[in-house]
Amino acid sequence: MVLALPSIIIKSALIPRYLFELKEDDDACKKAQQTGAFYLFHSLAPLLQKSGHQYQAPRHSLLELERLLAKFGQDTQRIEDSVLIGCSDQHEAWFALDLGLTSSSSQNAAIQKPEMETELKGSFTELTKALFQLNTKDASLLTMAQALLRWHDAHQFCSRSGQPTKKNMAGSKRVCPSNKIIYYPQMAPVVITLVSDGTRCLLARQSSFPKGMYSALAGFCDIGESLEEAVRREVAEEVGLEVERLQYSASQHWPFPNSSLMIACHATVKPGQTEIQVNLKELEAAGWFSHDEVATALRKKSPYTQQQDGTFWLPPKLAIAHQLIKEWVEKPSCSTLPA
């Protein structure tokens, strides 16, 4: 018997295939630009427009972009520096272009930011400042775009030959013409772990965190490590505890300071082995927090309330650390993982 799949599933499955075709076929990607939309950046800061307490990311058609470049004396060939970041259900391709960065092959100088902001009726805003005031879709697209644009800016030359590399139309890779080495954008794997002793969870803060903010433990995976080994090492290094059990939760791309893949896990330690030994080279402070304390912190609408009541606050909802902590509060099973 053949079962018919819902159209929404079929449609969502077709999007990755369409994006794959655009990444592999320069002509198809260039054709997609004709009906596509462009998000603009300047020196890795996206163009945003303020709407109340939120930011919106305007998009521009190819024609609008060509007119804009012409007005500022720029060659429209600069559009080839754009990178593909997604598409709509109707296969409208989305691209990102940085007008403040210059490629090794570009003959155009960077366009001055103030003039561009006036023309576009927006502002190029640091993503670190605006991320949590964007809707989920724009936040996801802009973080991907920034990561890709940053990677291309940092990989314009071959590490083997020293010669300029050439990006494909979609920006999914760069190739060295002299030796044919292909470079692909990469992310650094990071484990982020919420440790529990059964009734409490362990939260910590680094000196670089905003005042009053606590989060789960996190650290980069070392070369040659498995996910499990990285979790156990990081917990031992930072707070001197031995992980008894661990369980994968979810993952998230994180663009700051460079592109990372955050791999979230729950971990437990034995109830009788909970004495924390804070590694002050890594952390400013760490401690055990009760279910009620963490639940109260999750209910806070604004981090700035900690300035009034002196208590701690947690990472914003968009961060995977927030979701990991929320999962622990709402699911008792996370406190007592199976053996």
Percent of the chain with pLDDT over 90: 71
- Mean pLDDT in residue range 133-150: 93
pLDDT at 103: 66
Q: What long-range pairs does 296-305 form, CB within 8 A, spacing at least 24? A: 298/322, 298/325, 298/326, 298/329, 303/210, 303/212, 303/213
Check whether the bond before 257 is cis (ω within 30° of 0).
yes
Read off the tokens for 217.
């433990």
Q: Enumerate residues 6+ apart whose C-beta is below 8 A from 334.
A: 194, 196, 247, 266, 327, 328
pLDDT at 141: 94
β-strand partners of 189:
261
Highest mean pLDDT (candidates 10-14, 126-130, 133-137, 264-268): 264-268
Residue 125 has pLDDT above 70, yes or no: yes
**Best CA proximity match to 94, nearest among 62, 126, 124, 122:** 62
Better-scored residue on pLDDT, 291 or 311? 291
- Summarize pLDDT for 25-54 with one digit per residue, the tens: 999 999 999 999 999 999 999 999 998 889
Percent of the chain with pLDDT over 70: 89
pLDDT at 5: 39
Contact 165, 174 (CB under 8 A): yes
Neighbour tally for 330: CB within 10 Å: 10
- Mean pLDDT in residue range 250-275: 91
Tell me the Ramachandran region of residue 198: left when phi exceeds 0, alpha when psi lies from -120 to 50, beta otherwise. left
Q: What is the model's pTM?
A: 0.84
Amino acid in position 24: E
Residue 146 has pLDDT above 90, yes or no: yes
Q: Tokens 């030994």 belong to which residue? A: 277
Q: Enumerate residues 6+ apart whose C-beta is below 8 A from 230.
A: 189, 191, 219, 221, 222
Average predicted confidence (pLDDT) for the chain: 89
Residue 302 has pLDDT above 90, yes or no: no
Euclidean distance between the first and the last CA atom of the chain, given in angstroms as a whole number:
40
Read off the tokens for 70.
């012409």
Read off the tokens for 194.
């919420």
**Best CA proximity match to 41, nearest among 136, 135, 152, 174:** 152
Better-scored residue on pLDDT, 246 or 318? 246
